[in-house]
Each structure stands twice: as structure tokens, then as C-alpha cells.
Structure 1
């Protein structure tokens, strides 16, 4: 921990953090913060069955094997939009620790449908995976999160393409996206099959073609999981713990004043400039968390 995270812990502190084998001994009574860390399992009983589930899983496993075989030339990215975070009047502050434990199963819905008038923040999450890792889950890598206000932008397919180009431009991701000074020519994308990313739709295909030309790729493939089974997506498993906790937080939507007005019995935005400031403040607060 000192070498990788610049955190030094004394021997006595480590003994209190590590769970002891026998719970009845005196040292075990001093133990606190129990956390058995390992890969989170996917609870199959929480997912819907689908006629194409075996085909989709085989397709995703095939592209993972392909990426491992050509790791020097492959960019492997798992992407998804997480739980929309509502904006309103926060009654209480909520803090938590971002820790994924073995006893916390992955059980989150594929999509979160807003109940308000698009007053939500949408975290778009991208897990750039290290394809040379032979781990079956293929989760080691680096994560990038883009936060957008649902009212002004949402998450159409073109926003995801802009995000992917932005990732290639960031120096911190060059170890995953560049080889010999150029963008790696083979890209493999793992998605949940939502309407904004599914390659079945012509509108999305056109955006993928633009990405293919923009990055001058040789090969681009988009693999999706079966409907209702996106918990198998690596980014979903990496963010499962955080998603559940963010779902219970309401961010202040009126930090700089009320931008809403009543028209035809419904609350609508009447001051877009003020609304953008309020959305930005809420987005900054979300990023801090």
C-alpha cells in the first residue's frame, strides 16, 4: 500500500484491518471494518432469462479471447450508463465508502427511467481494460466517468463516440489506447445493448462508422449482452457497489436560484442559463463524491 498508494500503515493497524481466522481470540475483538475482497459474483437468480443469452455470452467471451491474443494492438472498453442521480432539494447529507465486497451481489436494473422532468445527472462510465490480463473477468484497467445533465444532452450514441475520442486524447489512457505512437488499430466495445449503443440500429451504425474513420481503425466490433443480463458487463460489476449508493442521493438543483416555472400545470425550465449553472454545481458535487 505504501508503494502503490503512498499510504503507510503500522503493523498494529494492519492487524486490526485484516480479518483473523479465529473470531474468539482477543485480537479478533479489536478487528473492525471487515471486508473480504475478491471478484464479485453475478447473482443469476436476479436476472431475466433470454433466448439469446448463451449466444451473447459466447460472443463476448470470444472477443475477450481475441483481445488477449492481440493485446498489443487491441483497445478493449466496457461501457454503460449508470443510475441517474436526481436533482432536487437534499434533505440530508450522505457519505459512504466505495468498497466492493464479496458478499454484495450485483443486482441492478439495466435502465433507470426518470420520474421527473429530466432533472437528473447521467454518469457515463467507461472501463478501459488491460487485454493482456489473463484474468477471466478482465476488469483490470482504468475507469473514466463523464457526467451529463439529462435535460440538455442526455446520452445519444454520438455522445458516446465523443467520449471515446476524448479518452484517446487523454495522456493518462495512452498506455491502453496507443502503441508505437499511434492509436491501436483494433477496438472491441462491450455494451449492455441499450438503444443508444446497440449496433442493430442504423443510426448507431453510422456513428460507429464515423468513429472508425476518425481514429483510422482497421477493425471495430461491438458486442452486447442479452437483454436484462448486463450484470455480466465488466463495467457493471466494477460500479455495482457505487451505483447502489448513488441511487439514494439527491443533489441540490437550486444552488444559484430557482430556474423552474409553472406552465400549463407543469414545472418547466424558464431560465436555461441559470439551469446550466445549477446543473454544473450538482455535477461538481457528484464528482467530488
Structure 2
């Protein structure tokens, strides 16, 4: 009985509370309605205050963009961040120095009377160019085909690690044994010229919940900065090495121990990694042929946007492990004279190798997001594998290059390539990615944006394939892949073959490609040349 009485009492309390809340809801609704009516009367009677109360006279219910109420916002951001902006050294004027951080930009916009949050400012700084779409296309393609047939890897060279100096210019907590003795160098200058190590970092991007993640095993190839350079051939050797590791094979290979048919590589735009350059292209072509891939995609980010490379997320924990570390530069003895010149080359290489092994040992103990890091020192090699560049006829059938992307795809000729292991060409008609095109909504429906106007947006891969029939008409035989890329707008015509319409990454590549269109010498022309030579000899 007491339980029933208690429940009835609690029910009455809740009913009374609900009645109060409903009454309060009606009262607030009426207050808001009366307030809006008064505001509209003020706007109608006093047009001079209408601009201040813009949001009360809008017809649309949705929240408009900030640029609607603040039309000068984007132009002001450009004026503030302009690289030519400067400040008076004597502070006699109010001229600004170019803003370098997001916080400074947000503060300056607030000082100029704009109402915008820090995150909204950041969103207006993100690139809206076509070169970012290629990376998004590849991510969509990877998610579409899944982990059974796709392997994604990201690579980049980490900053060089000096010998005999603190390896990282940062501070971090260090757990040490009490018996260890702290030591610091007596100098902060470079021990000798080129006394640094070059770490090349390769990270697999695995799938989690059917989505492409930033996690996966990591391989680091450490080389001497004095006895070897970072080139396209060293990257090919490192890439082949990491694909053979047990830590990578469970993600990179199929059940029959073959490399997955679709390989996607995200890399940096340096001269040793840029797939637009001939040596990098011939290395990737060799990787494609040796592993019998269906397709190989290599994509880079635009200049000054390498921070968006997925491997950059692993650089921070790697740098953290270098805090408080000084790599030995004379473990086996001093190989330098008083002027810092090398007096014993063999001893120098041994000291470099020892320093590289110490660095590899430190990084091999690192675990990034529950995944292992495999690091090793790679001694200088004089017989580094250098593949041959395929002929122009093969490249015209299998290779498509643009400013920021390389695509190598099998052809349909059974005498040239083995059958595809996937149904890639049922999604991509010729196996290659479609050129990025921005679209916008117009009065007649969906239409492509005009070139040079940043109005439309580059959608995902599936959206681009669905709108493939909607694209601008050009004077070229084939629609150029970089048609909407502002970086190569002036060079576009010079990169297109006039005979077949193929778009090429550079003017020199076009000259090499034109060799396949030259008419072969006929037998009559050869006989004519022989007769001319005989006449010259007789005369």
C-alpha cells in the first residue's frame, strides 16, 4: 500500500511539473512571436536600422552563409594573409605584417569587426582545387573495392637526424634509470658536413569498419646522408622491402601470397618522389609489372600541402622518441681531423652504420596505435637496382600522368597483359580515373562550373562517375585531366599531343611521346639513301 501511495504521489508531482513546462512553453512562444512582430514594425518604420537587423527580415528559414551578412569577409582574409603584406619597422604606420597563424588571423578579423569563429576561419582556408580531388577519388575507390583487393600505403622522408647533436629540437618527459648519467655536448654546431641520417618512412593504411583509416604498420629505412642520397631507386628498394615484411604481408597480400591487385600510394611531391618525373615513373612501372597488378595509383598533394599526407600523422610519435637522444658519431673512433674533414672513410662508414643502428633500435621499440614499427639501417650500395624505362608505345597504352597523379593500368590485349584479377573496368570504363570537374546547381539542374570561377565543388568518385556525361566541350580530342587545375592552366596546350590528344605531364614527355607518331622509313626511302651514298662515293 505504501508503495502504491508513493507511486501515485510521484505521478502527481510529474504531472504538475509537466503542466508548468507546457505553460512555460506557450508563454515563451508568445514572447518570441511578440518580439519578432515588434522588430518587424521597427524595420518597416525605420529603414536605416534594417541592415543591423538583417536576420529578422529574412524569408528563408535556414541559416545563411557568413558571406551573406559579411560580403567582404573572403577579400579581407586575402588582404590580411597576402605574402606581400608588411609592417613599418619604426611602427610609424598601421600597416600589417603578414599573418602566419590561424589564431592571429582570427584575432585580426575580430579587430576589423567581423563575427566569425576560429573553426569557421579554418574552413575558409582549406583548398578547393582539383588536385585535392584526386586523393579523394582514390580514397573512395579504396573504400568501394575494400580490403580484399586494395592495399594503400603512404610514404615520405622524415627530417634528417643529425649525429653528435640532440636528434630532436623538442622537450618531452623521459623515463630513465637512476644509474644513468646525464651528458650534454659542449657545442651546438654541426659535427661535420653531411653528418646526418635520412629516414624514409612507409606506412600502411588499413581498413577499420570498412573505412580507410590512418593506422597500420610502419617501415623506416635509414640511410647515411653523406654516402647515399634519397632517390627514386632507393624508394623502390624500400617499398619492395616493406612489402616483403611479415608485418605488412597480412594487409598487402592476398590469401595466395600475391600482392593485392589494386595498389594506391600517397607520397610527397619532392624531386625523388614525384611520380610526374621520369625516374619515379619508371620505378613505379617496374613495380607494376613485377607484381602483376591490375592498377597502380600514385598521388601527391599540391605544393605547401604535404601536411595532408597520411604518413605525417606518424611523424609526431617518431619525433617524440628522439627527445633527449644524441646519436654517437665516433663510436668506433674519431674519423675526423681538427677541421672536420674525413681522414678515414672506412671508419666513417662504420660510425654512420652504428649511429643508424642505434636510431633503428629506438624506433623499432615504438608502437603507433597498437601497430609495430620496423626500422633498419640500409648500408650504402653501389649496385642498386635501376629498372629500365618502358617504351613510349607501352606507356601510351598503360600510363596516364598528370600534375599530381600517376595511373598505370592493364590493357585488354592478352598478348601484352594477363587478365584482370578484379572487375575494375566495370566501374572505371578504361581503368583510369575520370578528370576532376566541379559541379553546381543551376536553374536547369546540375551543371559543370565555368573554368576560372570557384563556384562549384568537386564531389566524390561515385558522383563524378554518375555525372560523366555532363562536362564542358573543349577543342581537344580528349578531355585533359588537369583542365580545372589552375597550376597548369597556361601550360595545358603545350602538354597535349596534337595527333592522339593524350595529355602528358610535361613538355619533354610530349616530345618523347611524339616518337610513336613518326612515320617509319619505307623500303623505297632506304634504297634511295643507298643509291645516294653510292653516287657520293663514285664522285
The answer to whether the Cα contact below 8 Å between 1:198 and 1:224 also exists between their aligned partners in 2 is yes
Aligned position for 1:189: 265
C-alpha deviations, 1:109-140, integer Å up to 9, x for none? xxxxx99622111111111111455557x212
2 CA distance for matches of 1:133 and 1:67?
A: 13
Answer yes or no: is 1:150 the counterpart of 2:225: yes
CA pair 45-230 structure 1, distance change in 2 beyond 3 A: farther
Equivalence for 1:271? 344
- The structural deviation recorded for 1:95 is 8.5
The answer for the alignment partner of 1:232 in structure 2 is 308
Q: Which has the higher contact order (CA 8 A, sep 6+)?
A: 1
Q: Which residue of 1 aligns with 2:288?
A: 212
CA contact (8 A) 2:171 2:324 kept: no
Per the normalisation by structure 2, the TM-score is 0.38
* Equivalent of residue 163 in structure 2, options 72, 75, 87: 87
Q: Does the Cα contact within 8 Å between 1:122 and 1:150 map onto a contact in 2? A: yes
Deviation at 1:54, TM superposition (A): 2.7
Equivalence for 2:357: 284
Does 1:117 pair with 2:190? no
Whether contact under 8 Å (2:161, 2:196) holds in the other structure is yes
Q: Over residues 129-158 of structure 1, what are the superposed CA-to-partner deviations in whole Å (9 max), with x where a residue is unaligned?
A: 11455557x212111111111112221111
Q: Could you tell me how far apart the structure 1 residues matched to 2:251 and 2:219 are?
A: 12
- Scaled by the length of structure 1, the TM-score of the pair is 0.68
Q: Residue 269 of structure 1 aligns to a residue in which SS?
A: coil
Q: How many residues align?
A: 225
Question: Cα deviation per residue 1:183-241 (whole Å; 9 max; x = unaligned)?
Answer: 11211100121111101111211111122122222211110011111111111012224
> Aligned pair in 2 of structure 1 residues 274, 115: CA closer, same or farther (>3 Å)?
closer
CA distance in structure 2 between the partners assigned to 1:253 and 1:170 by the alignment: 30
Which residue number corresponds to residue 516 of structure 2?
none
Partner of residue 149 from structure 2, selected from 70, 73, 76 = 73
Distance 1:193 1:272 in 2: 33
Q: Could you tell me how far 1:270 is from its partner in structure 2? A: 3.3
Partner SS for 2:217:
strand
1:260–1:268 Cα contact (<8 Å) kept: yes
Check 1:90–1:64 CA distance in 2 against 1; reply closer, same or farther (3 A cut): closer
CA contact (8 A) 1:128 1:143 kept: yes
Gaps of 5+ in 2: 1-99, 104-121, 175-189, 363-539
Q: Hey, what's the Cα distance between the residues in 2 that align with 1:74 and 1:44?
A: 38
Structure number with greater Rg is 2
Residues in 1 aligned to 2:292 and 2:225: alpha-carbon distance in whole angstroms: 31
The 1:283/1:97 distance shift into structure 2, 3 A limit, reads: farther
Distance in 1 (CA, whole Å) between partners of 2:141 and 2:192 is 43
2:130 corresponds to? 55
Secondary structure of 1:211's counterpart equals helix
Show the counterpart of 1:177.
252
| RMSD over aligned Cα atoms | 3.3
Distance 1:185 1:44, change over 3 A: farther
Measured at CA, do residues 247 and 149 of structure 1 come closer, stay the same or move farther in structure 2, by a change above 3 Å?
farther
Unaligned 5+ residue runs, structure 1? 1-42, 99-113
Contact 1:75–1:131 (Cα < 8 Å) also in 2: no
Give yes or no for contact 1:83–1:243 (8 Å, CA) kept in 2. no
Is 1:253 the counterpart of 2:329? The answer is yes
Moved more, 243-252 or 153-162: 243-252
8 Å CA contact 1:120–1:150 kept in 2: the answer is yes
Report SS of the residue matched to 1:140: coil
The answer to whether structure 1 residue 223 and structure 2 residue 296 are counterparts is no
What is the Cα deviation at residue 163 of structure 1?
1.1
Deviation at 1:242, TM superposition (A): 3.0
